[in-house]
Amino acid sequence: MIKVVLIGAGNVAVHMAKAMLRSEHIELIQRFSRNDHNNEFFDSKIPKTNSIEELKQADLYLIAINDDSIEPFSEQLEFKQGLVAHTSGSMRLDALKCLASKGVCYPVQTFSKNETLDYGSIPFCLEAENVEDLELLKSFAGSISKNVYEINSNQRQKLHLAAVFSNNFSNHMFKIGQDICNENGFSFDILKPLLIETVEKLKTLTPFEAQTGPARRNDQKVIQQHIKELSGDQKEIYKIITHSIIKTYKSD
């Protein structure tokens, strides 16, 4: 059994706790949070502390707190045993300033508290300072998910950037789509089968191959009409993404 102490009480921590409780090879022996935030989302059987001095001895201390807090928090960890790993996509391994061994265990997923997730397919991107620590992280992540990758700090930061485009920015495109629906009196539901298919396609096609629409065809009549209908941020976003798509397929 891998004994784990979980640090944090945000969306990532909530889901990591759930994922750990389901695993037969992980024992979540304690969680740490300064306050009672999100208490209702955690199993009440998990022992909780709000004091760093009371942290139990564990194999793995999993830090799921916001990026800016990782460095100052880790500085307060004065023990030398065990492995301390953060879960951030954008922070380097050496953001950890503890005395114990350092690692990273980044789950590449978007976590909303009320969503049910298939933990078994979440990709975990791991980094450690030595082989033994990497093996521990592999055992830990591998007992939650079948998708485990070894990735260094430079790659992970790029991966996080790719995730921002693929997840956050595409979601904002959905948001603009919904705004246009609402402003014109019809339901965003009309677009949902299209959104599902947009992602479904990626099982067999690359995003490059899957592209369709006026920019893909460089259909200037439709494009100019759309630009005329838009204003503000929507217009600027339309123009620059259309320009980028046209450039992508220019050599066709």
# binding residues, a copy of itself (CB under 8 A): 98
Would you count residue 173 as binding a copy of itself (CB under 8 A)? Answer: yes
Query: In this complex, which beta carbon is closest to a copy of itself, that of residue 88 or of residue 101?
Result: 88
**Under rule CB under 8 A, which residues in 68-87 are in contact with a copy of itself?**
68
Would you count residue 246 as binding a copy of itself (CB under 8 A)? Answer: no
Stretch that binds a copy of itself, among 16-24, 28-36, 51-59, 113-121 (CB under 8 A): 113-121
Q: Of residues 46, 52, 117, 134, which one binds a copy of itself by CB under 8 A?
A: 117
- Classify burial at 199, counting beta carbons within 10 Å of its beta carbon; exposed 0-12, middle 13-18, buried 19 or more: exposed
Would you count residue 1 as binding a copy of itself (CB under 8 A)? Answer: no
- Say if CB 144 and CB 122 are below 8 A apart: yes
Structure tokens at 135: 């093996």
Would you count residue 237 as binding a copy of itself (CB under 8 A)? Answer: yes
Beta carbon of residue 218, minimum distance to a copy of itself (angstroms, whole number) = 12
Would you count residue 178 as binding a copy of itself (CB under 8 A)? Answer: yes
Using left for φ > 0, alpha for ψ between -120 and 50, and beta otherwise, residue 185 falls in left
What are φ and ψ of residue 206, in 5° steps? -80, 160
Find how far residue 41's CA is from the centre of its chain.
Answer: 19
Structure tokens at 184: 């014109």
Would you count residue 159 as binding a copy of itself (CB under 8 A)? Answer: yes
Would you count residue 229 as binding a copy of itself (CB under 8 A)? Answer: yes
**Under rule CB under 8 A, which residues in 9-28 are in contact with a copy of itself?**
11
Structure tokens at 226: 């759309």
DSSP 8-state class, residue 41: G
